[in-house]
Amino acid sequence: MRKNKSAIKKARQGEKNRLRNAHVKSTMKTNIKKVHLALQGKDKDGLQHAFKEAVTCIDKAASKGVIHKNNAARRVSRLSKKVGQSLS
C-alpha cells in the first residue's frame, strides 16, 4: 500500500485514467467493427455514416493520448482504403 500523499493521489489518477482509456478504446473498436459489418452488408449509406463515426472516434482517442497519433493515422488509412475499394 502507498504511504505518502502524492503516491496515493497518483494511484487514484492512474485508476481514473485506466478506466477512461478502456472506455475510449472500446468505443473506438466498436465503431471500427461497425464499419466492417457495413462493408459486408454492402449498405453504402450506413457504411459512410459508420466510417465517419469511426474516424472521429479514432481521432479523439489519439488526441486524448489513448493511442499514438501514428497508430490512429494507420487505422484511418486502412479503413479508408477498404471503404474506397468497396464503394468503387
> Alpha carbon of 64 to those of 21, 75, 82, 85: distances in Å?
9, 16, 26, 30
- pLDDT tens for each residue of the chain, 88 residues long: 678 999 999 999 999 999 999 999 999 999 999 999 999 988 888 899 999 999 999 999 999 999 999 999 999 999 999 999 988 7
Task: Provide the pLDDT for residue 1.
Answer: 67
CATH dotted code for 5-87: 1.20.58.110
Task: Provide the pLDDT for residue 42.
Answer: 80
pTM of the model: 0.85
Domain ranges of the chain: 5-87
Amino acid at 82: K
Task: Provide the pLDDT for residue 43.
Answer: 80
